[in-house]
């Protein structure tokens, strides 16, 4: 980590004889960007190697809540269907016009 700390603290290209100050600054910015990408890669690898226990616990709670919501939704739809008046039920099933079943 000392190399990473050094790259952010001081420009290692500043004293290079064949570089202009602008070139030294551009190379320094690229070096800092490279270090950020390396740090990001390490962090991403650590996150992807193992499951996040906190996230798993929160997802389980959400799964239970969604199951409850689905059950309540089904119950409310069933209640709405049962509350509707049964129109035209004198002879049985209300959609007999579309029924082509042969009866004997």
Mean pLDDT computed over 39-57: 88
Mean pLDDT computed over 24-37: 95
The number of domains in the chain is 1
Does some domain include residue 14?
yes
Q: What percent of the chain has pLDDT over 90?
A: 53
Domain extent, residue 12, equals: 2-72
Residue 100: is its pLDDT beyond 90? no
pTM of the model: 0.46
Quick one: tokens of 99?
């029924």
Does some domain include residue 39?
yes
Chain centre distance of CA 27: 36
Residue-wise pLDDT for 36-45, tens only, equals: 999 999 999 9
């Amino acid at each position: 980590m000392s190399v990473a700390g050094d790259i952010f603290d001081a420009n290692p290209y500043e004293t290079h004889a064949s570089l202009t100050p602008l070139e030294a600054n551009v190379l320094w910015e690229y070096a800092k960007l490279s270090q950020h990408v390396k740090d990001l890669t390490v962090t991403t690898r650590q996150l992807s190697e193992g499951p996040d226990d906190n996230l798993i616990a929160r997802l389980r709670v959400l799964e239970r809540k969604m199951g409850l919501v689905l059950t309540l939704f089904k119950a409310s739809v069933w209640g709405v269907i049962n509350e509707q008046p049964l129109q035209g039920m004198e002879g049985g099933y209300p959609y007999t016009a579309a029924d082509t079943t042969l009866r004997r």
